[in-house]
Amino acid sequence: MKNIEKFRQADYDIDPIYLKRWSPRSFANKDVDQPTLNSLFEAARWAPSAANIQPWQFIYAKSAEDRETFLSFIKDGNISWCKHAPVLIAVVSKCNWPKGNDLNPTHAFDTGTAWGYLALEAARKGLIAHAMGGFNREKAKQVLLLPENYQVHAIVAVGYQGYKESLNEKYHEREIPSNRKAIEEFIYEGKFKSTTQE
């Protein structure tokens, strides 16, 4: 998006990529080549993780057959737009430590960082990466042949942005970058302070 500053302005100095990344739903009819897709995974690769365990796993669907398989566990509201994305990625983590069965308490935290890196690299490359929590988690695990100790966190639709007119009309007015709370609403010095009367 050329005029992102019309919708998003940072209050403090940051790299413009954080504002540039957003989650459109309209996808152009254009494939993502494998080296470009690999760059997104490469960015995820360099995320930090507890003890450098790197618990993240990404399963992607590019072929018509694999994308159809992914659509079998994505919820209808999301299918209506993400069926046009040339790539769908399941963001997965291994929940336990590499040795033994103990839970790795930071598997989700670390995998969230990796997805964040992937999304920022996508924006840097002029792609869009739209995460979805609206899918059937149990079915996804089953269909993707994941063992019990793995968790599917999100499905991400990746591709190039298309025209909003290609979307169902109900999405037209939502096809703009969202804003954020001011940092004062979620930053505390020293201790948490409740802002409610509870």
Ligand X SMILES: Cc1cc2nc3c(=O)[nH]c(=O)nc-3n(C[C@H](O)[C@H](O)[C@H](O)COP(=O)(O)O)c2cc1C
Q: Which of residues 161-180 bind ligand X (CB under 6 A)?
A: 177-178
Compare residues 181 and 191 and give the one whose CB is closer to ligand X.
181
Query: Do 72 and 155 contact (CB within 8 A), yes or no?
Result: no
Tell me which of 66, 134, 136, 146 binds ligand X, using CB under 6 A.
134
CB atoms within 10 A of CB 46: 11
- How near is the Cβ of 35 to ligand X at its closest, in Å? 25
Q: Are strands 87-94 and 150-159 parallel, antiparallel or unpaired?
A: antiparallel
Compare residues 62 and 134 and give the one whose CB is closer to ligand X.
134
Q: What is the tally of helices (H) and strands (E) in the chain?
A: 6, 4
- How near is the Cβ of 189 to ligand X at its closest, in Å? 27
Q: Which of residues 114-133 bind ligand X (CB under 6 A)?
A: 131-133
Q: What are phi and psi of 67, to 5 degrees?
A: -65, -40
For ligand X, the binding residues (CB under 6 A) are 22-23, 78, 131-134, 154, 177-178
